[in-house]
Amino acid sequence: MSSRRQSGTPVIKAEGPSTANATDRKSHEMARYRHYQQPLAGESDSSLSESNDVDMVDGRLQSQYDEGYQTSQLGHSAASSRASHRPSRTPAGNIISITSRTHSPAVNQETIADEDIDRALSLDYQEHKYLVSSINALRQKGVEDLVVPLPKIVVVGDQSTGKSSLIEALSQIKVPRNVGCCTRCPLEINITEDTSDAARWTCKVSLRKTYMHDTFANNENDPFLVCRGSIAGTPQPSVNLGPWIPQDPAEDTLFATLYNKDDVEDVLHWAQLATLNPGTRPTKYMPGFNQHTPRTLQVKFSPNVVRLDISGPGLPNLSFFDLPGVINVTENAEEAYLVPLVRNLVKEYITPPNCINLLALPMTDDAANSSAAGIIKEVGAQDRTIGVLTKPDRVQLGESWEQWESMLSGERYQLGHGYYVTKQPNQDMLGRGISHSEARAQELEFFTSNEPWASDLSQYSQRFGTHRLSNDLSQLLIAQIVKSLPYINEQVNRKATTIEIELAELPEPPAENLPLVLTGKIYTLKNEIEKRIDGGYPYNLFKKNWHSTAEEFAKIIMNSTPKVLLDITDTPKSSMNKLQEQSKPPRGPVTPTKSNVRVDLTLSDAEDEPQLVSKTILPDRTDRKRQATPHAVPITPKKPKFNARPPPSKKFTVTQKASSLEDVREVIKAAQTAGIPNQVDPKAIEVLSQQSVAFWITPAQELVNIAGNMLKQLVLERFEDVLSEWKQTQLFVEASRIIHDYLDSMIGQELSAIQRTCHLEVSKPITFNAVWFDQLKRENLARLRTMRRAARVANFILEQEKQNRVVKERDVADEQLGIETFRKEIETMATVQAYYMIAASRFVDTVCQAIDGELFVSCKTSICQQLIDGLGIEKLDGKSI
């Protein structure tokens, strides 16, 4: 490989088709474009050693660009300053001419025409920015999906090749490193410099959804996640991406707008989580709405893109895609499907011939072992690939540099744009929060002060460092864009002509007043929703389901009164330790003693009385047969066992934990400030009351989400029924989006309101219902004292049985039991339980009333106007409805 190619400005590849006449050439170009098997017009197959001349005249889009930015005036200083790096040539003006050249056997490739390089170098900052921004805008509008591949840079590499550090260096941001998401979906980063007086660093994070996972294509739990592609017909599964179905049209969701670089890492993590959970609305992962969103993954990989649009002063004009690292094995057999999925995704990105590939290769491994390099070779993309050698600081001085020098010189593993070397911060530096400028300064010092970079390899110094790589990548991208513009223009115009023909074949629009028709449909939808939310017969199914769910929520909250676990012994010892002792399997016959019988003190439902439940550890079946003594039989209550705890809810999460009397004693001691003995500080009751209601926020949020999904399903069913005749139109898609956004916003507001209500309940327990409070306290205290005495009687009888004395329960007197050592604790819990029952009743009513009166009522009264405003119906044809 020539030294000019390795040490100078990157040379950009351009090739011509091997067809002779224009008609055959056009047919050949279209066939190649459809299959992505060969380069586009202006490119040649890498297996050819020479190419024929190609003349491509700029189309309308390129002419407009020339008029706006005067790019036809070549010869700027940028081009002349680099003339020494290239052979002499004649500028091509508005016609790109690529002459036939013959290659040496060692490097079988074509390079981008010198005219394209001159033209790219002659552009100033504003023109660079315009070109990159225009291509990004075309990509975001779906031109790449529907019309023609657009120029781009794609970063590929195996896992653990230093690719993440390279991405951070090029983009000057931090990406998630320890959450396992960064390498599981593509990342698009668009960087533009802002030189305005009010310039500030800005990053817009967006989610681009072009694929739907077939598992969630028709999500019954959330009807708003139904595959949009089904609007235009049943989507067909992707051949190469397994369960991922191409979606038409694609969806773009603005996830967050940031003004601080320090926020990017966390927001990017949540954006990737949203992408890796296709069965959940992305709004649940957005900043401000993700406090209670679990960080779990529904899928381990997604082809959908997280996009970052970054602008600010002093930034390069650069755009690139970072793909998941290529893998050969997975941690378990269930994830083996990820290996071909990632490989096929990489192939899909790097195959288009106007794609510039950046291959990351760590200097800690043999370059021949790179799987990503193998994929590049497999699709024939070596000629348009630039290699980046990473981790040079990990190579020891005693190791051989022969492989790396031979790659830099072009003798081995030739790539069309040669190799660069970058050095990024290590883990210690990253942990200390090293800045981008500090990292670049250390990188410069590394290459200018260390062997062999400052000595034997110094002839390649123009290829050392992130700054040089970034600048040359920017020039490379600009040149590729300039070269591709004529073909892009041609294909866009061709597609536009096809669409115009198809539009001309459509029938005339209806003669009636369209705004009036749409308004009528919307009010019909409003009436249909209103009838079902109000619940009059026969439209009461929604109301019945909501009442059933609300009643279950109320039962869960009301039946979760704080429980007390009472061990029958009076010996001060942690009940948790006793539970641990009881968990050990017994050896041989076991007689119930005070250390292995526990009583569960709970408040029963109103129609039941509390019962003494003796829980005894029994030996296994064999040992029980050998057990003959009557003293080994556990005490059985006179009444049948009754468990007052409700069965676990299938819809709601309850995390209320029972406390032992010793736990209560510890809280009382911690809160005690007065020197008077046997007194309970009100702060202890407040703390225990706060602990008892702390779990409410989880089931309350679950109730809001259940109600929200019920409302979504109702609205969606009515929406599809009322607007069924327009289901194949963009109007249906846009109206659906408006409904999605509106309901998500309403549910988000309701979740915030519930969070405030829970915060009030936890922050300050309070009630003015003194009469009911006193009554509940008396009832609870009587119940707890009865159950406590029953427990102590059981303990007394067991002690007597050890001495072969038979004592009946009814004959045990209070004097025989001794002084009650947990009197304060029992009275305290009676007070806490009384408060809980009052607060729970208040809380259930408040939450259910808020959902019914705010979420449901707002939907039925406001959705009509939301659709009218969102669709702009009042502005159609300049008429007001």
Q: Are 337 and 170 in contact (CB under 8 A)?
A: no
pLDDT of 199 > 70? The answer is: yes
Cα R_g (the chain), whole angstroms: 37
> What is the mean pLDDT of the segment spanning 744-766?
90
Q: Are 276 and 302 in contact (CB under 8 A)?
A: yes
User: How far is it, in rounded angstroms, from Cα 530 to Cα 669?
Assistant: 56
The answer to whether the predicted template modeling score (pTM) of the entire model surpasses 0.75 is no
Position of tokens 């050392």? 464
How many C-beta atoms surround the C-beta of residue 470 within 10 A? 21
Closest CA to 152 of 131, 175, 125: 131
Secondary structure (DSSP) of 37-98: SS--TT---TT-S----EEEE--HHHHHHHHHH-TT----HHHHTTGGGS------TTEEEE
pLDDT of 579 > 90? The answer is: no
Q: Are 700 and 754 in contact (CB under 8 A)?
A: yes
Q: Which long-range contacts (CB under 8 A, 24 or more apart) does 766-775 make?
A: 767/835, 767/838, 767/839, 767/842, 769/838, 772/838, 773/834, 773/835, 773/838
> What is the mean pLDDT of the segment spanning 334-346?
87
Closest CA to 182 of 51, 272, 301, 280: 272
Element (H, E) at 840: helix 823-850
pLDDT of 317 > 50? The answer is: yes
Question: Could you give the dihedral angle defined by the CA atoms of residues 547, 548, 554 and 556, in that order, rounded to the nearest 10 degrees?
Answer: -160
How many C-beta atoms surround the C-beta of residue 133 within 10 A? 16
User: How far is it, in rounded angstroms, from Cα 480 to Cα 768?
Assistant: 75
Task: Considering only residues 189 and 112, tell me which one the structure prediction assigns the higher pLDDT.
Answer: 189
pLDDT of 637 > 50? The answer is: no
Q: Are 613 and 634 in contact (CB under 8 A)?
A: no
Positive/negative CA dihedral, 680, 684, 686, 690: negative
> Which pairing describes strands 355-362 and 152-157: parallel, antiparallel, or unpaired?
parallel
Question: Per mean pLDDT, which range of 159-168, 347-356, 782-791 is the poorest?
Answer: 782-791
Six token digits for residue 793: 């009687």
What is the strand order of the sheet 597-601 is part of? 614-616, 597-601, 564-567, 659-660
Residue 688: the pLDDT is 86
Give the chain's mean pLDDT: 74
Q: Which long-range contacts (CB under 8 A, 24 or more apart) does 137-144 make?
A: 138/488, 140/208, 140/252, 140/307, 142/249, 142/250, 143/488, 143/492
> What is the mean pLDDT of the segment spanning 603-607?
34
Residue 511: the pLDDT is 59
Q: Is the peptide bond before 538 cis (omega within 30 degrees of 0)?
A: yes
pLDDT of 236 > 70? The answer is: no
> What is the mean pLDDT of the segment spanning 607-623?
35
User: How far is it, in rounded angstroms, from Cα 359 to Cα 413?
Assistant: 12
Closest CA to 345 of 242, 205, 207: 242
pLDDT of 585 > 80? The answer is: no
Instruction: Kindly indicate the confidence band of residue 792, based on its pLDDT and cuts at 50, 70 and 90.
Output: confident
Q: Are 791 and 599 in contact (CB under 8 A)?
A: yes
pLDDT of 6 > 60? The answer is: no
Q: Which long-range contacts (CB under 8 A, 24 or more apart) does 245-249 make?
A: 245/211, 245/212, 245/213, 245/214, 245/217, 246/210, 246/211, 247/209, 247/210, 247/211, 247/212, 248/145, 249/142, 249/733
Position of tokens 């009461």? 540
Of the chain, the end-to-end C-alpha distance in Å amounts to 72
User: How far is it, in rounded angstroms, from Cα 521 to Cα 719?
Assistant: 9
Position of tokens 């513009």? 485
How many C-beta atoms surround the C-beta of residue 500 within 10 A? 9
Question: What letters, b where the CB count within 10 A reaches 16 and e where it falls short, cover 503-529?
Answer: eeeeeeeeeeeebeebbebbeebbebb
Q: What is the pLDDT of residues 526-574, one digit of tens each?
A: 999 988 988 888 888 999 999 999 999 999 899 888 887 665 454 444 3
User: How far is it, in rounded angstroms, from Cα 400 to Cα 280?
Assistant: 52
User: How far is it, in rounded angstroms, from Cα 445 to Cα 439?
Assistant: 10
Question: Per mean pLDDT, which range of 326-335, 363-372, 636-645 is the poorest?
Answer: 636-645
Tell me which DSSP letter residue 696 carries: G
Question: Per mean pLDDT, which range of 179-183, 428-432, 457-461, 468-472 is the poorest?
Answer: 179-183
Instruction: Kindly indicate the confidence band of residue 304, based on its pLDDT and cuts at 50, 70 and 90.
Output: very high
Secondary structure (DSSP) of 237-278: PPSSSTTEEEEEEEEEEEEEEES-GGGHHHHHHHHHHHHT-T
Closest CA to 188 of 105, 271, 244, 129: 271
What's the CA angle centered on 582, arms 578 and 586, to 5 degrees? 145
Residues 6+ positions from 469 with CB-CB distance below 8 Å: 170, 388, 420, 422
How many C-beta atoms surround the C-beta of residue 270 within 10 A? 24
Instruction: Kindly indicate the confidence band of residue 156, based on its pLDDT and cuts at 50, 70 and 90.
Output: very high
Environment class of 577 (CB within 10 Å of its CB; exposed 0-12, middle 13-18, buried 19+)? exposed
> What is the mean pLDDT of the segment spanning 342-346?
92
Residue 566: the pLDDT is 63
Q: Are 742 and 869 in contact (CB under 8 A)?
A: no
Instruction: Kindly indicate the confidence band of residue 588, based on its pLDDT and cuts at 50, 70 and 90.
Output: very low
> What is the mean pLDDT of the segment spanning 370-377?
94
**Bridge partners (DSSP) listed for residue 565:** 600, 660
User: How far is it, in rounded angstroms, from Cα 539 to Cα 298?
Assistant: 36
Share of the chain above pLDDT 90, in %: 27
Q: Are 587 and 607 in contact (CB under 8 A)?
A: no
What's the CA angle centered on 300, arms 299 and 303, to 5 degrees? 85
Q: What is the pLDDT of residues 643-700, one digit of tens each?
A: 333 344 457 877 667 777 777 878 877 877 766 777 777 888 888 888 888 899 999 9
Q: What is the pLDDT of residues 411-456, one digit of tens each?
A: 999 999 999 999 999 888 888 888 888 999 999 999 999 989 999 8
Element (H, E) at 308: strand 305-312
At residue 206, the 3 state secondary structure works out as strand
pLDDT of 878 > 50? The answer is: no
Q: What is the pLDDT of residues 822-865, one digit of tens each?
A: 878 888 888 888 999 999 999 999 999 999 988 998 898 888 88
Residue 304 CA: distances (Å) to CA of 173, 206, 498 = 21, 11, 28
> What is the mean pLDDT of the segment spanning 208-216?
85
Q: Are 216 and 278 in contact (CB under 8 A)?
A: yes
> What is the mean pLDDT of the segment spanning 581-594?
36
- Taking phi first (over 0 means left), then psi (-120 to 50 degrees means alpha), and beta for anything else, what does residue 569 get? beta
Q: Are 851 and 753 in contact (CB under 8 A)?
A: no
SS (H, E, C) 478-506: HHHHHHHHHHHHHHHHHHHHHHHHHHHCC
> Which pairing describes strands 152-157 and 318-322: parallel, antiparallel, or unpaired?
parallel
Tell me which DSSP letter residue 464 carries: B
